[in-house]
Structure 1
Amino acid sequence: MGKVANDTVVAETIAEARVLARRGRFWAGLLGAGFVIGLTGPFGTYDALPTLVRTAYWLFIVTTTFWLGYLVSFAVATTAEGYGIGAPTSLGIGAAIASLPVTAWLAGFHMAVFATPFLTDALELLPYVAVICFAVSALSEAVAIREVGEAPSRTPTPEPAWLDQLPDHLGRDLILLHAEDHYVRAETELGQTLIRTTLQDAANDLGEYGVRLHRSWWVARRAVQAYRYRSGAPVVVLQCGRELPVGRTYRRSVKEALR
C-alpha cells in the first residue's frame, strides 16, 4: 500500500460512492422511490405519459439525479470543510451548488427527449431541485451520523480480547484495519493478515483501543501522530509517516477521540 491513501476530495468522494453503491438496501430504497413516483406521476407526467413509460422515466430521473447531486454535494461539502466551514453550512453549500448541475441535466434531458426550451425549463425546475437537494443532503447526513455513532468515551479500557484473533507471528501491536469485502485486513508492525469480520464489528469490539476513520479504515490510537489536511481533505498521520483518509461524516468523532 502507498504512503498516502485516498487523500484528495475526488478520491474520498469516489470511495464513499463505492461503499454506498454496494448496499442492497440503498438500491432498494432508491429504485423503490423511483417506482412509487412513477406510479403517482407528479409534475403532469401522470396524464402526459403511459404507465410503463412514466415509470421508466422516473426510475431513470431519480437514479441519475441522485448520483449527480450526491457526488457534487459531497465533494463540495468536503472541500468546504477543508477550509474550516463546519456543518450544517458546508452541507448547505454543497446542496446549493449541486442543484445547478442537476437542474442543467434535467433541462438538457427534457430538451433532447421532449423538445422543451432549455432555459425556460431550467428556471422552472431550479426551485424544486434546490429544495430536493437540501432535503436529500440533510437526510443522507442524518443517516451517516447515525451509522457512525457517538465519539468513543475517554475511559481507558483493558487490552481488547479481539487481539487474540491475530496470528502469533504478527504479535499484538495492531496498527490499523482496512475493510475488504467480507474481511478486514489487520496490520501490525510485523505484517498483515485477513480476518473474516466487518469493520464495524471489529471497531466495536476494539473499543477505546482505536478509532474509526472512514467506512473503510480504523486505526489504533497509539499509532496516530497527527491530524492534518492534504489537498483540502483531512488525513491522520501515523507514527511511521503513513497517511490515512478521514471520511467526512467521521471527522467530528475522530477529532473528539484524538483530542
Structure 2
Amino acid sequence: MNQPAFHASPNASRLRRRAVRGVVIGLAAAFLLAYLGALGTGPAPFSHRLAYWAAVILPGSLIGMAVQEMVGAWGRLSGTRAGEIVLVALLISFPHSFMVIVASALFFGLAAITPVVVFEFWLAVLVIALVLTAINHLAAVPDLASAAMPAPAPEPEAAPAPHSADTSPLPALPELIAEKLPVRLRQARLVAIEAEDHYLRIHTDAGSDLVLMRMTDACALLPETAGARVHRSWWAARGAVETLARREGKAALTLQGGLTVPVSRAMQASLREQGWG
C-alpha cells in the first residue's frame, strides 16, 4: 500500500486547536480590557494598556491550557461543567496572581506589596480567570447544532470487503449511549468511539454524533469481545476492522467506511495476538 498507515495524532490536533483558541481568546480579552481601561489602567496611553494586558492575559492563557489538561485527565468533573470551570479558574488564579503583581509593578509601579494588595490582585485574577475559562469551555463545545443536522444522504453502501481482517458483527449500541444520540442513530451498529475534548464522538454505520460521557464509562458498557480501547482517545469495534497497518513503529487501523484509528504502542502486540491484522 502507498497510503500513509496513520494520520496525525488526534490528541496533537486537539491540543493544537485548544492552543490556538486560547491565544485568540486571550488576545481578544487583552484588547477589550485595554480599551475599557479596566482595573484603574485607564489613565495610561492605550498602547501601554494593551501591552500590559497582553503581558497579563497571555501567560494566564498558557497556564489555563496546562491546568485544563490536568483537570480533564483527572476526569472527576467531566460531567459537571460549572464545577470544572470553577476548579480550573481557582488553580489558575494562585500562580497567575503573582505574575500579575510583577507585571503591574513593572508597568505601573506598586508602592507596597502587602497581604491586602495580594488578596485584591488574587480576587481580580480569579474573576477574570472564571470569565475566560467559561468562554474557553463554551468555545470548546463542538458545533452541536451542525452535528445534529441530518447527515448528507450516504452513497449506496458497498458490500463488506471480502478481505476484512475480522468477520465479527458490529456491536449494538449500549442503551446508555444510544439514548443520548439522535433518533436516526439509535438503532445503528457501533464502529468506533473517539474522544473530542469533553465529549465522545460515537461513530456508527449510519453516521456519527457527540455525547457527553467519559471514555472509561463508555468502554465499561461494552463487552470485551466487541472490540478494544486501542488508543487513549479511541475504542474500535473488532468487526469494523479492515486492516492493521504499521509504519516506522506506529500503527493504525482502517475501519469500515475508511475511518483511520491510531493504535498505541502498548496495544500493538496484543492486537496482533488476537488476530486483528
Q: Is the 8 A contact 1:81 1:90 kept in 2?
A: no
CA contact (8 A) 2:30 2:54 kept: yes
Tell me what 1:65 maps to: 60
Task: Return the index of the structure with the highest Cα Rg.
Answer: 2
Q: Over aligned residues, Cα RMSD in angstroms?
A: 4.9
Equivalent residue for 1:214, pick from 187, 196, 205: 196
Q: Deviations over 1:108-151 (max 9, x none)?
A: 33345555344544221111221222222223223333535699
Counterpart among 218, 233, 245 of residue 245 in structure 1: 233
Q: Matched residue of 1:46: which SS?
A: coil
TM-score by length of 1: 0.52
Distance of aligned partners of 1:130 and 1:15 in 2 relative to their CA distance in 1, 3 Å threshold: farther
Alignment counterpart, residue 130 of structure 1, candidates 126, 133, 141: 126
- TM (norm. structure 2) is 0.49
- 2:17 matched to which residue of 1? 19
Per the TM alignment, residue 61 of structure 1 is displaced from its structure 2 partner at its CA by 2.1
Q: Which residue of 2 aligns with 1:40?
A: 36
Q: Give structure 2 stretches of 5+ with no counterpart.
A: 167-184, 206-213, 235-277
Residues 71 and 119 (structure 1), Cα distance of their counterparts in 2 relative to 1, 3 Å cut: farther
**Any idea what the Cα deviations from partners look like across 1:72-102, whole Å, max 9, x if unmatched?**
2x13432442488744323322222221112
* Structure 1 position 32, deviation (Å): 3.3
Are the structure 2 counterparts of residues 240 and 160 from structure 1 closer, same or farther at C-alpha, using a change threshold of 3 Å? farther
Of 113-122 and 34-43, deviating more is: 113-122
Structure 2 distance, partners of 1:18, 1:42, is 30
SS of the equivalent of 2:100 reads helix
Query: Do the aligned residues in 1 keep the contact of 2:26 with 2:57 (CA within 8 Å)?
Result: yes
* Alpha-carbon distance in structure 1 between the residues aligned to 2:163 and 2:124: 56
Report percent identity of matched pairs: 16
> What secondary structure sits across from 2:39 in the alignment?
coil
Q: 1:106 Cα deviation (Å)? A: 0.8
**Of the two structures, which has the highest relative contact order with CA contacts closer than 8 Å and spacing of 6 or more?**
1
Judging by fraction of residues, say which structure has more helix: 1
2:94 to 93, 100, 112: 100
Q: CA deviation at 1:18?
A: 1.6
Aligned equivalent of 2:177: none
Q: Deviations over 1:168-187 (max 9, x none)?
A: 899799xxxxxxxxxxxxxx
